[in-house]
Every structure is written in structure tokens, then in C-alpha cells.
Structure 1
Amino acid sequence: MPGPRWSRGGRTLSARLLVGHIGVLLLAGLIGFFLWARAARGELDDQYEQRALAIAEAAASSPQIRSALATGQPAAVQSLAQDIARSTGASYVVVMDRNGVRYSHPTPELIGRPVEEPVVALDGRQHMGIDLGSLGRSANGKAPVFGPGGSVIGEVSAGVVETEIASKAGDELTSLAIYLAVAIAVGVGAATLLTRQLKRQTFGLELDEIAALLQEREATLHGIREGVVAIDPRGRFSLVNDQAHHLLGTTPGDLGRAVADVLPDGDLRELLTGGGEATDQLVLRDGRFLVASRMRVTHGGRDLGSVVTLRDRTELEGALRELDEVRSLTDALRAQQHEFSNRMHVMSGLLEMRRYHEAIGYATEIEGATSGLAAELESTIENPRVVALLVAKMTVARERGVAMAVDTASRVVLDDVAADAVVSILGNLIDNAIDAVTGSVTSKEVPAVSVRLAQGSRELVIDVVDTGPGIPAGMGGSIFTGGWSTKTAAEGRARGIGLALVRQLVDQLGGAVEVREGKGARFRVSIPCVPAGARP
């Protein structure tokens, strides 16, 4: 695991997210606390104003206070107002006449002195509000005092000072503060868990590093000539670069889709969706030779899927196969040269011995043997390409000490287009058979390969049988998989292509391939008669 990474500002992404979450929670909490405190304070002011008005109305309806104001005798009003204030919990109860002269006051020195503000209750209605009087800020209620005739003869002002309201508000705000603190603590815990989860999902990378990795990935993946495919744990395409789209025949719209829904059943789909790892496995895809490698990807104990790389070996394998054909032709020419040299030595000896009639007879015999094989094949196979292939393979087999026989059980008629597929199928099967019997038989056995072609009204049947070690039991279904071979891999050369190509050609022609397991391999290819001009 890489060590801790730091952002340009000195903080990791998770730390910045955590600080941001905490800042948002604190800001939201403070704003909510302020708004709630303001609303609670306004509600408390309303409640205490209503309470002060009720106290003022009760005092204004007192007979003693009404009588004192009517007669102008304030002596008993102070003690009565103080009793009312103590019994109701009011901070003060002030009684005054129409002219604003105080009959009672918490400060005795102010009794008999007029108030600074006008007497508002002279209109005969109750009044509430916040009073900024001599005792400080208070919730105040004012009620008129009516005389015997129903006229307003004075006013009672009752109030609760700020300290009591603030004490009540403080109790409620303390409960709110505790609630907000708990909510913020829970939010911080949740934010910490979220940032840790995000850190795990981003593997500890910072935003600028993620952006740089994305740019590097895009430049790298779409710039290389190898195909790169990433498959998630559920078997879906998660990444496909341009070269892989070209090789697989997929489109960018296939990202996120299951591999089984995009690719047909076959070796390539099994490779992409299989478990474990695979190295340099050969697969065929639409006539292309692909070398694929699969690697499982895990991080922190988590399965992230697999990455498959695809290398297009079509041109290289085509060049190597052409080189093999040239080598086969060279071997055939070398074998013919040896035979021709030997025959020329015989002819030269006969001529030196002046046995001219025997020389002429020997030349006639050579000419008949040489042309007889090709003439025999041409009499039953009406395609020079197939005949030329069989003659060349028989010459190579003879040079390598292998007895090769060709049996044409019926007339075979192929046009040049259909013959191309037949030549590829025959060439691969015969080459494999010759390789299998060369050096694999005992001194008592003669290495032999037999080829049989039979064409009916509906299908062409090709049989290739050899006397080699054969196909191991249980491997009949695996030998047509790309990369399967009994031969040692050559330097820079993939093995196991021939039989895979045979199966692909036969499948494209709508035919079938059968193989016999055990000693002495036998391959039977059955393909429908190819219409003229059809190209597999």
C-alpha cells in the first residue's frame, strides 16, 4: 500500500471532506440555534406581556385602588401594589392617576412624581409591549382604572423585568444547545465514517492524483496497439480501449454490459469470463489470431475483476505460415532434386556403359512414374490447387520417410474459391499427421499417412489417418482449442493454430469435425458442398 498522500493545501481529501462536513454542521447548527432562540425569545416576550397585562387588569379592578384614585388618597395603594406584585410574581406594579402621578412604585422615592411618558390607557383599552422604563427592559401590560361613572381615572402598569425572562430563555436554550451538540456529534461521526468509506473506495488517492491518473490512463490505453479489456467481478465490460474494440468487434455502448450478452459462445468468451490467470493463450476471432493473457486484480483483499490483454498476431502468423509453405516447397524441391540427381547418375552410368536401349527404357519409366501420380489425382479431383497440394505433400512425406497414400473414393469437383478452404483444411491435417508419425514409430512399424476424399450430392468428406501416437483419451474436445499442441513451442512462434483454424473453417462452412482418440489419430471432416463463389 502506498503511504499517505497529501494535497496541495497540505490536507488529504478525506480530511478536507471531514472539515467541510463539520463546518457545514456547525454553521447549520448555529443558524438554527440563532433562529430558534430568536423565535423562543419572541414567544417568551408575548407570554410575559400577556401575564403582565393580566396582573395589570387584576390590579385595576381592585376596589381599594379604584377608590384611592377616585378620592385622591394614595396612602394605601403602595402596600396593596406590593402585595399584588409579590403574589403574582410581577417585578413591579405601578398605579398612577390620569395625570401620570405615581401612587405606587418599587422605588418609593418616585411615588408622587409624574411619569415621563404619556398615560396611554386613557383611551380605555389595554396595552402590551416592551417597556424601557426606570427599572430597565421589561415585558409590560397597562390597564385603565375606571371610576364610579365609568370614566378613566387612572392606569395600572405591571411588568416583568428582563432578568426573569432571560433566565427562563436560558433554561430553554440550554436544552436546545445540548440537543444541537448531540446532533453535531452524530453528524461528525457519520461524516467520519463516510470519509473513511470514500478513502477506501479511492484507495487513498487525492482529487488531483485521480484526475492525473485518469488522463494518463486515457492516453495510455487508447494509444497502445494492444487491446486491453477490464472485466468487473460480475462479468461485465468495465473498460475497453480502441484496439480491443477493433479486435473484439465491440462498441463503446457495450460498456457495462455482460460479456455473455455481447460475445458469442466460444474460446474468447470463456477466456474473458473465466477465473484464475492465463498467459499467452491463443484464440481465433473472425479470422484473426489473438494471443490473450488474463490477470486477476485484487486490492486490499477485494476482488476487482480481471484485466485481459489481446495481441493481434494475424500478420505475424500469416507470415510464419507462408514461411512454412515456402519451407515445405523447398523441402519438396530438395527431395525432387535428390531423386533427379540419383536418376541422372543412373542415366549417366548407362550412357557411359553405352547401354542406350536401357537408358531410353529407364527414362521412359521415370517419365511414367513421375506423371502417373499427378495424372491419377487429376482424373478424380477436378481442381489443380488441391492436386498440387497433395503431390507436394506426398513428396515431402517421401523425403521424411513417411508412406503417404491418397484415395479418392469418388469424383471431387471444387471451384477455386471452395478449394481455398479445402486446401487449408487438408494442408493443416496432413502436416500434423506427418509431424506426428515422424520419429514416433518403432523400427518394426512403417510411418504412414492416408488421405481419403469422397464427395456425395450433399457433402464432402475428408479422412486423414496416421500411425502416430494418436490423441490422448479425454482430449478430443480440447485439441481444437487455440494453443493446444503436442509439439514444443518454437521461439517467437505460437503452437496449436492449425487445428483451431481447421475447426473455424469447418464451422464457417457449416460442417463438422470428428476425431478418434487413442493410438493412430483419425480426423474426419464433413462439410456441405460449397456453392460456387461462396467464400468462408
Structure 2
Amino acid sequence: MREWSLARQLLVLQAVIVAVIVAGGSILAYLDAASSTKDTAEREVIAVAKSVADAPTLLSALSTPRPTEVLQPFAERVRLDTGVDFITIMDPNGIRFTHPNPSQIGGHFLGNTSDALAGKVLTETFAGTLGPSVRAVVPVLSSDRVVAMVAVGITVQAIAEDLQARLFGLIVVAAAALAVGTVGTYLVSARLRRQTRGMGPQRLSRMIDYHESILHAVHEGLLLLDKTGTVTLCNDAARDLLGVPEDVEGRKLDDLGLPSSLVDGLLSDGPVRDEIHVTDRRVLVVNKSEIRAHGAVVTLRDHTDLQALTGELDSVKGFAESLRSQAHEAANRLHTVVSLIELERTDEAVRFVTDELEIAQRLTDRVVDAVNEPVLAALLLGKTAEASERGVELVITPDTQIDESMLPGRDLVTILGNLIDNAMDAAVDGEGAPKVFVTVQKSSAELLMRVADTGRGLDEEASRAAFSRGWSTKDDNRGLGLALVGQTVRRYGGSIELSQDVGAVFTVRIPVEMPVEQGAG
């Protein structure tokens, strides 16, 4: 048997509910109408009975030898005017003076009269000569003495006929309510059918389970944003990549403490294709597609490890470039030596070789004596050769001294290598002699790295944007080096300061007590 769709099940369920509610309401309305009709009848017969009992005609007729001759026409006239079914006037013994059926006059009243004889008003439903009726019996008093009684009644049949007249209107209202409820239920069901595509609850439940499993199983981060920039869905991978709390759903994107460049990119109009953004812990590749009239779907991929490998590759390429530069310089010197020998100027060749060896050895000894960290020493020697080829003087300050680094080689190259590269670019673009000054020190409290250049420096706006993704002095919007420097420094709980001297001065301080494991990221 084919499973009913959720819309059909809801239609049947709502139809049953509407029918039950209408039926229950109709029954309650009927019972209320019946009770109201009976109460109205009781009030009516009491009012008529009291009016008759207070009529002067009644007392004057009772003083005559034949009360019936006066009271019967009087009672019938009142009965016809008020619409009650009977008015019976009787003496204290219950002998009738009047009755709608004249043959019953003189007979004994059928019903209770004890309360009336005690001076009280009695109401009851009793089966008399006209059948069951709702009646009231009131006393007729003269000098505080009961001299007669008046009974006024409306038959149950008359009450039922009045109730039936009301019942017709009740049925019409109930039918209209049922029709309106059914139409409304159908419209809701039709809308639900369109939104659920005619699927049944079990299939919908399976799809939700599948989707939940997929969302939490994929390694890519997934965000759903509505038109107002509120996060409506965030899977586990996205929470981990962005470093946001569990209760992120339902919060505004710009309230999550994410980098402003990332927030601006996600909230901007139009799609985003493979944009790289740097957070405090990650390098993310971001894609965004808009959903018409709903918001946007954002996917996040972790680019951190790939970026680190790219940085290592760049470092290796830098070392290779440094070796090429050194080989080029060595070849030039060798050609010079060979030429001097060919010219039989051996003394000058020896002096030239000796001077060059002393310069190279002095630089090597200076770096090796100050820096016992192999990666750092290799980095500084390589950057020195590269700077020499570019016409930049790389100066390792005399106060540079470090036995070992707290940082893994990858992060050390990321921080110092990028700062030196940017400093050389700035120094080349400066007006004076291009120089770069490097200081590396380690104390018991912190690791300090300072890189200064003789370039033009940075203005206030450039200083604020220097560590943002995409910033570059070359205006190519591809700058990532300083953003990675800032990310790495923050990951180790350090700080980076930018100040101005002749040119820009970058100072990095990383505490000895680091909040994360070395090499994390």
C-alpha cells in the first residue's frame, strides 16, 4: 500500500478535528439552547402567574358566589395574550376555578401546591391534563392569608417546538463552520503538498536524517544565511573552521567576532568564488552562492595546511634562489680570478680571493655565532645573498643573539621570511640607500623579532590595513604574507607592532608561555 503524503494525512486529520469541534460545539450549543429555553419558560410562567395573582379582578371575583363566571374569561384572555398554554386559578384546596378545557373546571388541580400554600412560589415540570409542562404555582394573598392559588404553565411540547426553531439556525451555522473549516484545511493541505512535494512523513524523516548525517559528516564547512545576514544553519566543520560557539544559529554573522573582510565578503551582493580569507587560526577558501528570495549558501574549505606547504615551498625556492645568487656571485669571482691569473697577476688574484673569503667568512661567522638555530641561520644567510643580488644591504644587528627558537621552522620562516621580503621590497622602492635591519633576540620572557627598512614607510590607513588579506604595497590585491604573519603571531599569543623610523619597523613579540602547542594550525 502506497504511503499517504504528509499533506493528505494532515488534510484527513484536520478534517476530522474540524468535524469533531463543530459537532461538539453544536451539541454544547444545543444543550445551552435547551437550558436557556427552559429557563426562559420558567421566568415567563412565574411572571404571568404573579401578574394574574396580583390582579384586582381576581380578589373581587373570589368574593362572589360564582368566581368562575368572572375568572374563566379573564384567565383565557390573559393566556391568549401571553402565549402560555394554561392558566389555572384554584382555591386553597386545589379546586379549579378556571382551565383551558372548561370540562376540567371544578376538578382537583394535578400538581404540587404545598409551597404555594406556605406563601412561596413553586416551579416544576409536571404531567397534568395537557401533558408534561413547565409550570409555576403562586399564592394569592389577602391579609397575609392564602385565599387562592394561580398555576401558569407551558407544555414541554411547546418548548420543544421553540427549541426546534432554534435548532435549524444552529444546524445552518454548524454546516457553514464545517464548510469553511474544510475549505481552509484543504488550502493549507494544498500549500503543504507543494512545499513537501507530495512526500510522506517517513520519507521526509529519512531525508532529514540523511541531510543531517551529510551536513555533519562532510569536511567542508557549510553556512546558510538569510537575507538579513542571520545564520540559519552551521555544520560542525564550519564551527570548527570559524571557531564559533555551538549556539551560532539564529545569530547575526557580524556578531560572531569574525574578521571584517570575511564578514563583508559574505554579506556583499553577488557570488563569491574561491576567495582566500585569513582568520586567527585558519586560511580559508570561501565560496558563496545566493538563493533567490532566501539568502545565501556559503562553503568553507581549510587552506591552512596547503598554505603552509606553499610557504615552505616558497622558502625552499627562496633558498634555491639564494644558492643561485651565491653561485652567480661565485662564478663572477671565479672568472675574475681566472682572468687575473691569465694576465699573470697572481698576487692580485690571491688578494682578491682572500678578501672575498674574509667577507663571506665574516658574515657566516657573524650569523653562526649569534644564531644557533639552524633554520634561522639558513634563512638569514639566504636572505642576505638574495638582498645582495637585489642591491639591498641586509644588516643583522649586533644585539641579535639566539640559542634556539621556541617556534617550529615552518612558523619561523612564515614570520621572519615574510617580514624580510616585504622590508626588501620597501627598501628598494625608497629614496636612499636600500637597507634592511634584522634583530632576533630570545630572553626568559619572550622571543623578539624586529625588521626595519629604509623605505618610505606606511601612512595611517596603510598601517591599519597592513595585516588584512589582500593588502599589498603593489596594489595587486593579492597580499597574503603579512596576514599570515599576523595569524601565526596571534596563534602563539604574541603581538605585532608597526611603527615608523626612517621607514617601517615591524616588531614581533611571542611569550615563552605559549597558549597553544608549537606547530598548531
C-alpha displacement of 1:511: 3.4
Residue identity matched to 1:483: G
Match of 1:247 among 222, 241, 244: 241
Equivalence for 2:127: 132
Equivalence for 2:217: 223
Change (3 A) 1:411 1:241: same
SS of the equivalent of 1:327 reads helix
Equivalence for 1:453: 438
SS of the equivalent of 1:526 reads strand
User: Does the 8 A contact of 1:96 with 1:156 survive in 2?
Assistant: yes
Equivalence for 1:35: 31
Equivalence for 1:499: 482
Counterpart-to-counterpart distance in 2, 1:533 and 1:63 = 119
SS of the equivalent of 1:480 reads coil
Pair 1:464 & 2:453 matched: yes
Counterpart-to-counterpart distance in 1, 2:402 and 2:512 = 8
Counterpart-to-counterpart distance in 2, 1:80 and 1:513 = 119
Match of 1:309 among 299, 318, 321: 299
Match of 2:507 among 526, 532, 536: 526
Change (3 A) 1:472 1:182: farther
For residues 206-233 of structure 1, the C-alpha deviation after alignment (integer angstroms, 9 at most, x for no partner) is: 8948756643442232111122334556
Counterpart-to-counterpart distance in 1, 2:52 and 2:489 = 111
Equivalence for 1:424: 414
What fraction of aligned residue pairs are identical, expressed as a percent? Answer: 26
User: Does the 8 A contact of 1:122 with 1:155 survive in 2?
Assistant: no
SS of the equivalent of 1:511 reads strand
C-alpha displacement of 1:424: 3.4
Counterpart-to-counterpart distance in 1, 2:15 and 2:433 = 83
Change (3 A) 1:531 1:91: closer
Equivalence for 1:92: 86
Residue identity matched to 1:480: F
SS of the equivalent of 2:467 reads coil
Change (3 A) 1:77 1:105: same
For residues 101-122 of structure 1, the C-alpha deviation after alignment (integer angstroms, 9 at most, x for no partner) is: 97765445x458967x967559
Q: What stretches of structure 1 of length at least 5 have no aligned partner?
A: 1-5, 70-75
User: Does the 8 A contact of 1:506 with 1:513 survive in 2?
Assistant: no
Within 5 Å, give how 1:92-241 maps onto structure 2. Answer: 92-93=86-87, 105-107=99-101, 110-111=103-104, 121=113, 124=117, 128-141=123-136, 158-162=152-156, 165=159, 208=201, 214-231=208-225, 237-241=231-235
Number of residues of Structure 1 aligned to a counterpart in Structure 2:
494
Counterpart-to-counterpart distance in 2, 1:412 and 1:481 = 29
C-alpha displacement of 1:256: 4.3
Residue identity matched to 1:282: I
Of 311-320 and 350-359, deviating more is 350-359
Change (3 A) 1:61 1:47: same
Counterpart-to-counterpart distance in 2, 1:428 and 1:317 = 13
User: Does the 8 A contact of 1:296 with 1:305 survive in 2?
Assistant: yes
C-alpha displacement of 1:280: 3.3
Pair 1:77 & 2:72 matched: no
Match of 1:405 among 393, 396, 403: 393
Counterpart-to-counterpart distance in 2, 1:223 and 1:406 = 50
Match of 1:509 among 494, 500, 513: 494
Change (3 A) 1:355 1:446: farther
Counterpart-to-counterpart distance in 1, 2:196 and 2:499 = 52
C-alpha displacement of 1:239: 3.2
SS of the equivalent of 1:417 reads coil
Equivalence for 1:72: none
Counterpart-to-counterpart distance in 1, 2:371 and 2:123 = 122
C-alpha displacement of 1:84: 1.6
User: Does the 8 A contact of 1:276 with 1:296 survive in 2?
Assistant: yes
User: Does the 8 A contact of 1:145 with 1:156 survive in 2?
Assistant: yes
C-alpha displacement of 1:316: 0.9
C-alpha displacement of 1:412: 1.6
C-alpha displacement of 1:377: 4.6
User: Does the 8 A contact of 2:284 with 2:303 survive in 1?
Assistant: yes
C-alpha displacement of 1:20: 7.1
Q: Give the TM-score normalised by the residue count of structure 1.
A: 0.66
Change (3 A) 1:101 1:87: closer
Q: Give the TM-score normalised by the residue count of structure 2.
A: 0.68
Equivalence for 1:283: 277
Q: What stretches of structure 2 of length at least 5 have no aligned partner?
A: none
Residue identity matched to 2:506: V
Counterpart-to-counterpart distance in 1, 2:449 and 2:387 = 24
Within 5 Å, give how 1:34-73 maps onto structure 2. Answer: 34-51=30-47, 53-54=49-50
Residue identity matched to 1:425: I
